[in-house]
Amino acid sequence: MFSKILIANRGEIACRVIKTARKMGIKTVAVYSDADRNALHVEMADEAVHIGPPPANQSYIVIDKIMEAIRQTGAEAVHPGYGFLSENKAFAEALAAEGVAFIGPPVRAIEAMGDKITSKKLAQEAGVSTVPGYMGLIADADEAVKISNDIGYPVMIKASAGGGGKGMRIAWNDAEAREGFQSSKNEAASSFGDDRIFIEKFVTQPRHIEIQVLADSHGNTVYLHERECSIQRRNQKVIEEAPSPFLDEATRKAMGEQACALAASVGYTSAGTVEFIVDGARNFYFLEMNTRLQVEHPVTELITGVDLVEQMIRVAAGEALPFAQGDLKINGWAIESRLYAEDPYRNFLPSIGRLSRYRPPAEVVEPARAIRNDTGVFEGGEISMYYDPMIAKLCTWAPSRDAAIQEMRLALDEFELEGIGHNLPFLSAVMDHPRFASGNITTAFIAEEYPEGFEGAELPEDLLRRVAASACAMNRVAEIRRARVSGRMDNHERVVGADWVIRLQGQEYAVTINADREGATVRLNGSEYRITSDWKPGQPLARLMVDGAALVMKVARIPGGYRLRLRGADLRAQVFSPRMAELAALMPEKLPPDTSKLLLCPMPGLVVSLNVAEGDEVFEGQALCTVEAMKMENILRAERKGRVAKINAEAGASLAVDDVIMEFE
């Protein structure tokens, strides 16, 4: 076994690999760029080597720099993580040349699977089901129609050079095929200067399901079942689970065996993933093979009990797999939520900055549940603009899918994250989405269910009532504490009442609280709720039991009330005495203030740079310009979506407070 390995990566995956190495008694070497000087992976590793400036192409993916770090530290093997150099043939070769083990597949396998066309050919040869299609040049529309009929409708007509939906058409019949061929060709010619076209089967109700394989150098290849990764936003996976709620045993076995056959055919060793697209009739077609550890590997680990990183290291050291296919059973259900520093209320715009609060739920492993959080950040750390905006991968495990979802709901509600925009509320909303719960999902789930983006979840009435009852009980505790301030008039203290009215999400509820030593019984609109909690006033996270069911929410004080966050909802709660509620009802509804269509200079300063031009469409939160004041650079951002009508300042201009920098339409 190796005595020291280098992890040629950063962030959560570097931390993940270090954990296993440490468990195995292997020393670890981290590499870091300037931006990661204080990063968690650097802290966790036994040694760390600085490899250059923040941009990855000047540090993490510069092979020479990694090789130099290996020489410096005498690492015997390298784990590449995912991304960066993990599927880079040249890197694997460079390692081989110096006799350093690559904790990954052989160069030949990387190369074979690295090319889409070659890998598809190899897959066909290995008997793997591939998307039926025609790869050769298509002369004219007649030929296109003929090929389409051979494949069977619906078909997708695609430009070879295509991307981003351009030069792509779906045809359900001959007429559409004819028309689609011509328009794709034209579009391809004008967009890419390359009008070559190919046609393949269009997969309806597509799901992204992938098979984890593991192979050693002794000829053993096994599959560790599947992961379903259909919840994606613009091809970025957001939520994954294992097993898939869609596969039956026969399909699973067929996919697994084909995946193993493909791996074996290229002499694969180490961990790898064979991605399939699966249609509504459980037909599956090979997409590609990823010759590395996948981001979402923890869900497989949770259901199989196999530490994939450990097996990768052992295989790289020449050991044989300690299990055979028959030993690999599916135990329970695991779900992974990827926490991204992307603001769902601002069209998922990346958000960077300081994590002023970062408190993930405690990791647990119990007989009926487990919570795992893979992360590379810490409270007080920085999410920088240079790398992947992923903050953490939160996984839950339970014996059933429903239970795993329920664990995830609570774990997300417990996750405290402040200082930057993040997608926690969106993840919560998906967990509560009935279609997700039903398992009837496709890769179009997010696009179909959130066509207008995400504006926060609405809580269902029964949950809202439980929240209302809880908030009233908590407010009562807070009010009693307030009434215990010093300097009270003896014998004339404030008596905190039992009757309250709460306003929440546009609803108003009358509430009566009967408190006792253990908790409170709250009567709300005729129903009764039994509430217990160890929450104390001022604590930002409240864990309650409402009629025996757990309820977790984030609580913050705001003028005139509370801000409550749970299950993807961001609520303003106002708790009144009955008389206050009567008077509050007299207060006018105020429209949100008319935010002006001007960007004003907030301070006297110098315009350092303008990031947009007249006529540009800008998103909420987009950086518009940078103003330097007192030697500090302040970035001014768009308050909402719009178009820049006029720019009144230029770089280098010196501005006073409230000078108009730009105007919007």
**The pair of three-digit structure tokens given for residue 207, joined into one six-digit string:** 């799901």
Shortest distance (Å) from residue 559 CB to other proteins: 6
Q: Which strands, in side-by-side order, build the sheet including 47-50?
A: 47-50, 27-32, 4-7, 77-79, 101-102
Shortest distance (Å) from residue 10 CB to other proteins: 17
Burial of 234 (0-12, 13-18, 19+ CB in 10 A): exposed
Shortest distance (Å) from residue 479 CB to other proteins: 9
CA distance 333 to 401: 5
Shortest distance (Å) from residue 558 CB to other proteins: 10
For tokens 């994606």, name the residue: 232
- Helix ranges (H only) for 157-239 are 174-192
User: Please, which residue, 281 or 485, has the CB nearer to other proteins?
Assistant: 485
Q: Tell me the C-alpha to C-alpha distance, in Å, between residue 48 and each of 83, 91, 408, 490.
A: 20, 20, 34, 64
- Which H helix or E strand runs over 21? helix 11-23
Pairing of the two strands 4-7 and 77-79: parallel
Binding site for other proteins (CB under 8 A): 37-38, 354-358, 378-382, 419, 481-489, 492-494, 497, 536-540, 557, 559-560, 576-577, 579-580, 583-584, 586-588, 590, 602-604, 629-634
Shortest distance (Å) from residue 50 CB to other proteins: 14
User: Please, which residue, 267 or 537, has the CB nearer to other proteins?
Assistant: 537
User: Please, which residue, 71 or 557, has the CB nearer to other proteins?
Assistant: 557
Structural contact between residues 42 and 36, judged by C-beta atoms closer than 8 angstroms: yes
Angle at 555 between CA 502 and CA 511, to 5 degrees: 20
User: Please, which residue, 170 or 606, has the CB nearer to other proteins?
Assistant: 606
Q: Tell me the C-alpha to C-alpha distance, in Å, between residue 423 and each of 97, 164, 449, 540.
A: 43, 24, 16, 19
User: Please, which residue, 93 or 379, has the CB nearer to other proteins?
Assistant: 379
SS3 499: strand
Shortest distance (Å) from residue 481 CB to other proteins: 6
Shortest distance (Å) from residue 602 CB to other proteins: 8
Structural contact between residues 506 and 574, judged by C-beta atoms closer than 8 angstroms: no
User: Please, which residue, 318 or 497, has the CB nearer to other proteins?
Assistant: 497
Which residue, 248, 243, 236, 155, is CA-closest to 202? Answer: 155
336 is catalytic: no
Residue of 93, 143, 179, 288 marked catalytic: 288
CA distance 361 to 355: 16
CA distance 196 to 137: 6
Shortest distance (Å) from residue 461 CB to other proteins: 26
Shortest distance (Å) from residue 534 CB to other proteins: 10
Q: What is the DSSP string of 546-574?
A: ETTEEEEEEEEEETTEEEEEETTEEEEEE
For tokens 């899918």, name the residue: 401
CA distance 12 to 600: 40
Pairing of the two strands 101-102 and 77-79: parallel
User: Please, which residue, 91 or 535, has the CB nearer to other proteins?
Assistant: 535
Spell out a b/e string for 338-356, using b for 16 or more CB atoms within 10 Å of the CB, else e: bbbbbbbbbebbbbeeebe
Shortest distance (Å) from residue 540 CB to other proteins: 7
User: Please, which residue, 250 or 587, has the CB nearer to other proteins?
Assistant: 587
Angle at 651 between CA 649 and CA 656, to 5 degrees: 50
Shortest distance (Å) from residue 487 CB to other proteins: 5
User: Please, which residue, 288 or 628, has the CB nearer to other proteins?
Assistant: 628
**What number of CA atoms fall less than 13 Å from residue 648's CA on the CB side?**
14
User: Please, which residue, 327 or 493, has the CB nearer to other proteins?
Assistant: 493
Give every CB contact of residue 365 below 8 A, 6+ residues apart in sequence.
none
User: Please, which residue, 43 or 455, has the CB nearer to other proteins?
Assistant: 43
Which DSSP category does 271 fall into? E
Shortest distance (Å) from residue 55 CB to other proteins: 17
How far out from the chain centre does Cα 342 lie? 9
Structural contact between residues 425 and 342, judged by C-beta atoms closer than 8 angstroms: no
Q: Tell me the C-alpha to C-alpha distance, in Å, between residue 340 and each of 33, 51, 352, 430.
A: 21, 26, 10, 15
User: Please, which residue, 249 or 490, has the CB nearer to other proteins?
Assistant: 490
Structural contact between residues 60 and 51, judged by C-beta atoms closer than 8 angstroms: yes
Positions annotated as catalytic residues are 288
